[in-house]
Amino acid sequence: QRVIDLLGHLLRGGSTDFPLQESTAGRITQTLLDLYPEASPEVCTALLESGFYQHASMNDEARASAAQIFLESLHEFRFERQIELVHAALERCGHLAIEPLRVAMLESAHDVTRLTAAKLLPEITSRFADIPSAQLLQTIESLRTLTDSEESDFTDRGPLFISLGRVGAHDNVPAATANEISENMRERLGHTSSVYDILEALGYLASGSNLSKEERLEVGHLLLTVLKKGLPGMSGRMRKNEEGEDVLHFGRETTAYTDMIPRILEGLGRMIAVEQTPDVLFQGIADELIKLWTEITDYKRIWAPAATMTLARLLGSIALGKRRTDRMAEDIADLLTRKLILLPVMQVISQVVVTGESSERMDHIALRVFHELTKRLNEQPPPEATERRQILETMTAIAQREKIGDSAKEVEHVRRVVIEALFEALRDRVFQARGMLEQLGASELLSETMRADIQRRLKPAAHRG
């Protein structure tokens, strides 16, 4: 294994005094590749860590062979680190791994290999724009063979649907094929247990470039309908665990809150990020997400915390995007302040309020956010370190707005409060406090007197640190 480490070091250019000739490097990579099939799992791990398969001396044929060999060894690994190394190696073999992965997905005798192949295929196809249409269609046909077969022994068809949606979203897939896949998936929703996976797959398809406008609208409306639909009530009962302790167990319906909703939101997020989404659909998605946030913050709809945070980030991306109106950005910023104290929401707010420079309403929202954060900063017990840093980052962002509130006096007050809070944080050794002060000290929006004061006070602080 030490020899393998040394050879890997040489291949990576570790010896600048004696650089490898191309012919020598080629012999080393071929030797390491030949060693792999019969090596023990420990030696295989060392070979994968060496990264020999990435060297330029390996031609396409050798790289395709490497992908095949790596796949065949996958079932022998037990440790997560080893499995991650195989995954990384296959991904770095690039488009040359597509055919070995497709064949392994269909024919491997090992469930773990088939499942891994199904999951890795879209990871690779999504990274390469020049994959021939014929190869993509062959991959799609293989995936559909497995999803459509009633006798398939594939352990979990969910990843197959997701892979089908992601591969089908590739730019080089014909529009007719993409539409057919989407229509077929929508029809299957009521006839399979892989509902969440199909919904996720549809989100990928609808963010691709080839789906027709009509089919894109169908998918968008479907996802919104499922998202808005009333979720089943959560049921729970007490059970004994192995230690004899009473533990509350929830029913399977809780997965709708923790699994389905985030998947749909992420799909809608991909859709609003692409220009192919029709304006009417973009507006519809934005309007419905705003309504959902309003219902959640009014406690008329209950979602899991992770789903709520995903929604907040999605609303933030809409407010920061190019397609939204100024009014929409203001509405979103205003609504997000309802959950201001949550860190992810605070992060979104700090970005949104900085962008709305020309809006009088945003000036007032920024001032309201500032007052809420100042109040939280001075509460007892005080915020813990991570929350304190995020509060300060948001306040620093607000302080760099040209206008805050109604008057120049309010702007001056906000900036002075932020500066003092940051110097107090610097004394407490809060991470990034100095960087925030330096940022303010360099901002031309602050008065020359204020910038000079920051620079003067930072110098002795630097000596103390």
Task: Give per-residue pLDDT as tens, 74-100.
Answer: 888 888 888 899 899 898 888 999 999
Is the separation of the CB atoms in 398 and 353 below 8 Å? Answer: yes
Mean pLDDT of 109-121: 91
How far is it, in rounded angstroms, from Cα 105 to Cα 120? 10
End-to-end alpha-carbon separation of the chain, Å? 45
Residue 62: CA atoms inside 13 Å, Cβ hemisphere, count? 18
How far is it, in rounded angstroms, from Cα 142 to Cα 192? 19
The one-letter amino acid at 82: Q
Task: Answer whether residue 418 shows pLDDT above 60.
Answer: yes
* Helix ranges restricted to H, 298-342: 305-320, 326-336
Q: Which of 68-77, 239-248, 328-337, 414-423 has the lowest mean pLDDT?
A: 239-248
Q: What is the pLDDT of residues 141-170, one digit of tens each?
A: 999 999 988 777 777 889 999 999 999 999
pTM given for the model? 0.81
Q: Degrees (nearest 5) of the Cα angle 231, 235, 238?
A: 160
What is the biggest distance separating any 2 CA atoms in the chain, rounded to whole angstroms?
A: 77
Mean pLDDT of 54-75: 88
**Average model confidence (pLDDT) for the chain?**
88
Q: What is the pLDDT of residues 206-253, one digit of tens each?
A: 999 999 999 999 999 999 999 988 655 444 455 566 666 655 444 445
